Amino acid sequence: MNEREKMISGEWYQPECEELKCDRFRAKEFCMKYNSLLPEQIDKKQEILNSLLGNAGNNSVIEPNFFCDYGYNIEFDGFVYINHNSVFLDCAKIKIGADTFIGPNCGFYTAIHPIDFKTRVKGLECAKPITIGKGVWIGGNVTVLPGVEIGDYSVIGAGSVVTKNIPANVVAAGNPCRILRQID
């Protein structure tokens, strides 16, 4: 199994291998091009998203600035709106359901580094996927950590740090993010 296959399957891998470095350079080049486009260059933006992402959904909008590690691990299941200054560390899959809205300055981080210093300095890492259901609203300045699932139609309050799964149809907020109430 090569390092890219290990990464996608959630095993420990070496991110500094040549293949993954090339993949990251490719993604960063696409992000730079995307972020430099004028607001009215909608067709060109969609073209870049279609080339960069695993699935760009239906006419999804990502406001600049947008950054990701690989791009091919990001999948939208329909229309998704992402406001300014988003960061997707997509070492594992990041799947976002249709009709989801994401506020500015949000981060989605799938990468995990070893706790043990001696292992960490060897450069190994692993990743766990993030799954966000359909119709979700994520407020500004939210951080979603590795392995988290957010259920359909839930609302995540601004400034939250989502460390654990959030079920469908709830309002949740805080650091760490916790359920505040059900949505009727």
Enzyme catalytic residues: 113
Q: Give residue 164's pLDDT.
A: 98
Q: Give residue 40's pLDDT.
A: 96
According to DSSP, the β-strands at 111-112 and 126-127 are antiparallel
Distances (CA, A) of 127 to 41, 55, 113, 174: 34, 20, 9, 24
Task: Say if pTM beats, i.e. exceeds, 0.75.
Answer: yes
State whether residue 33 is helix, strand or coil. helix
DSSP H helical ranges for the chain: 3-9, 18-36, 42-52, 117-120
Q: Give residue 184's pLDDT.
A: 86
Q: Give residue 71's pLDDT.
A: 98
State whether residue 182 is helix, strand or coil. strand
Question: Tens-digit pLDDT profile for the chain (184 aa)?
Answer: 999 999 999 999 999 999 999 999 999 999 999 999 999 999 999 999 999 999 999 899 999 999 999 999 999 999 999 999 999 999 999 999 999 999 999 999 999 999 999 988 999 999 999 999 999 999 999 999 999 999 999 999 999 999 999 999 999 999 999 999 999 8
Domain boundaries, the chain: 3-182
Q: Give residue 69's pLDDT.
A: 98
Q: Which fold has domain 3-182?
A: UDP N-Acetylglucosamine Acyltransferase; domain 1 (2.160.10)
Q: What angle do CA 74, 52, 66 make, to 5 degrees?
A: 75
